Amino acid sequence: MEELLKRLAVCIERGKVDKDARHPPDMQGQDGASELTRQALDAGVSSTELLEKSLMVGMRRIGDRFAAGKAFIPDLLIAAKAMNAAMVHLKPYFTSGEAQHKGTVILGTVTGDLHDIGKNLVKMVLEGEGWQVVDLGTNAGPDRFLAALQENPHALIGLSALLTTTMLNMETIVQQVKKNSPDTPVFVGGAPLSADFSGKIGADGYFPEPQSFARHIDDKYGRVRS
């Protein structure tokens, strides 16, 4: 079984979706994430164990390589594709409540900004790490964050912006959130931001890429909130 979980982790890391997938070229014809996940479940591995000992291990490995500059966004996205193929088999267990997510993150690109490629990536990584994500899309203002927070009172918040003009709108959102819910942590990211800026607007932290963000909230809030 160990062997199967190891192989599955490699399929996730390298983005081997299923047997028919032509990528990566050197794994053609072999079982992929989809088949191996099925086999593991059929052999009695629990969904939680599968997620933690295999799928997340693979996602984490590619994530670490990405954060270190050794892999690139497409690699991350291909891995996510394989992850999704595995999740198809796991879905029934999640909805039946057997497996639990670590907590909820409300994510959105802020008022005035329509860039969402970066935010979508953060979403994918968080989901891959076992978080539930409420995606507010783009051009999201304080009201939308507050409304989402009302529905998910224990959620964390992540804000994204790609222009120096729109990142200024983050301050209003942070203020509104803190006024209504002082204990809700708010994190920020996006190309023109910095830790310095995050401190200035009263946010709880800046992360240059999704991996360090996921690691941080895992350590600090994972499983405590729901």
Cis previous bond, 24, omega within 30: yes
Partner interacting with residue 23 (select from other proteins, ligand B12, none; CB below 5-8 Å by kind): other proteins
Decide if residue 165 touches other proteins (CB under 8 A). yes
Residue 177 in tokens: 């959130």
Question: Binding to other proteins by residue 78, rule CB under 8 A?
Answer: yes
Q: Which residues contact 23 (CB under 8 A, 6 or more apart)?
A: 15, 16, 17, 78
**Residue with Cβ nearer ligand B12 (18 or 135):** 135
Residue 180 contacts which entry, other proteins, ligand B12, none (Cβ below 5-8 A, type-dependent): none
Q: Is 29 in the site for other proteins (CB under 8 A)?
A: no
Q: How many residues of this chain interact with other proteins, rule: CB under 8 A?
A: 31
CB of 82 to ligand B12, least distance (A): 19
Q: Which of 115, 144, 154, 215 binds ligand B12 (CB under 6 A)?
A: 115
Q: Classify 4 as helix, strand or coil.
A: helix
Span 116-135, contacts to other proteins by CB under 8 A:
116-117, 120-121, 124
* First-residue to last-residue Cα distance in the chain: 31
Number of Cβ atoms within 10 Å of the Cβ of 168 = 15
In the three-class reduction of DSSP (H, G, I as helix; E, B as strand; rest coil), residue 152 is classed as coil
